[in-house]
């Protein structure tokens, strides 16, 4: 399996606090790799180091073989490293479909260059509609983005991120702030993307993580204490002790 993203010895301190302390992680093409850990373990910081929102103090971050640790966020994004909230600016006044067309166009500027403009428009439209179907939003295509529910908006953001065809998509708690029923729908959607997309997922919903992940990296106090398939992770004594520790929340 081709390696899409590789982190080696990545560190980040805030003052005296070592938030991310020498983390290694390898994500293969088509893999859904989850990062879990108790509150304050360093998950969000690590994701920000991967995306370029924060700069690592030390360590390597390789995207498709290229060390991107010194690159700005937009330069990593241009190379295909996408974090949902960064790649998706939903335009409230536009329809759901037009938002999708914009997201797809950003990528497709060159893809349809040999087509007539009308045929290119049709192909883009088909692709945008298919993308909306993938996230259960096809019936909302004509609606203004402004009137979407919170869950529908998150679905649109996901569809727009996917439409840009990133090499790897970083998802930060896609189930946060949505109801149980909608969380179940998000799990189904993400399952639908499995194999087609390379995903790094941070999520507190353990049912979702264990249902979706190919592999899981467990962070605790800034360190990666385990990495493996879900069954191995749930059986790992070090992981169990982190989660069974003093009133640990996740």
Task: Summarize as ranges the residues that interact with ligand ATP (CB under 6 A).
Answer: 14, 17, 19, 37, 39-45
Task: Report whether 169 contacts 161 (CB < 8 A).
Answer: yes
Q: Which two tokens stand for residue 14?
A: 């805030």
- In the bound state with ligand ATP, the residue whose beta carbon lies nearer, of 194 and 204, is 204
Least distance (Å) from ligand ATP to the CB of residue 242? 12
Least distance (Å) from ligand ATP to the CB of residue 233? 16
* Four-CA torsion 141, 169, 63, 19, nearest 10 degrees: 140
Q: Give the rounded distance of the alpha carbon of 85 from its chain centre.
A: 9
Task: Report whether 84 contacts 170 (CB < 8 A).
Answer: yes
Task: Report whether 163 contacts 107 (CB < 8 A).
Answer: yes
Q: Residue with structure tokens 């605790």?
A: 220
Q: What kind and span of H or E run contains 33?
A: strand 32-36
Least distance (Å) from ligand ATP to the CB of residue 33? 16
- In the bound state with ligand ATP, the residue whose beta carbon lies nearer, of 87 and 220, is 220
- In the bound state with ligand ATP, the residue whose beta carbon lies nearer, of 18 and 95, is 18
Least distance (Å) from ligand ATP to the CB of residue 173? 8
Q: Give the rounded distance of the alpha carbon of 54 from its chain centre.
A: 16
> By three-state DSSP, how is residue 114 classified?
coil
Least distance (Å) from ligand ATP to the CB of residue 14? 3
Least distance (Å) from ligand ATP to the CB of residue 112? 40
- In the bound state with ligand ATP, the residue whose beta carbon lies nearer, of 103 and 202, is 202
- In the bound state with ligand ATP, the residue whose beta carbon lies nearer, of 41 and 199, is 41
Q: Residue with structure tokens 């019936």?
A: 139
- In the bound state with ligand ATP, the residue whose beta carbon lies nearer, of 43 and 76, is 43
> Rounded to whole angstroms, how far apart are CA atoms 137 and 141?
7
């Amino acid at each position: 399996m081709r390696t899409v993203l590789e982190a080696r010895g990545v560190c980040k301190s805030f003052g005296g606090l070592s938030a991310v302390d020498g983390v290694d992680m390898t994500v293969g093409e088509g893999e859904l790799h989850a990062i879990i850990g108790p509150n304050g373990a360093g998950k969000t910081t690590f994701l920000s180091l991967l995306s370029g929102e924060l700069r690592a103090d030390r360590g390597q971050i390789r995207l498709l073989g290229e060390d991107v640790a010194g690159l700005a966020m937009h330069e990593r994004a241009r190379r295909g490293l996408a974090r949902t909230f960064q790649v998706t600016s939903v335009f409230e006044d536009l329809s759901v479909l037009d938002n999708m067309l914009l997201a797809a166009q950003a990528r497709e500027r060159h893809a349809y260059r040999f087509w007539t403009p009308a045929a290119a428009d049709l192909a883009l439209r088909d692709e945008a509609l298919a993308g909306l179907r993938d996230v259960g939003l096809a019936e909302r295509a004509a609606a203004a983005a402004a009137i979407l529910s919170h869950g529908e908006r998150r679905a649109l953001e996901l569809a727009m991120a996917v439409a840009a065809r990133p090499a790897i998509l970083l998802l930060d708690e896609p189930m946060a702030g949505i109801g149980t029923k909608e969380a179940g729908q998000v799990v189904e959607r993400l399952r639908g993307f499995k194999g087609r997309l390379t995903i790094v997922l941070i999520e507190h919903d353990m049912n979702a993580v264990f249902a979706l992940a190919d592999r899981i990296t467990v962070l605790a106090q800034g360190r990666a204490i385990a990495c493996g398939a879900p069954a191995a992770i749930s059986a790992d004594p070090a992981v169990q002790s982190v989660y069974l520790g003093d009133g640990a929340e996740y």
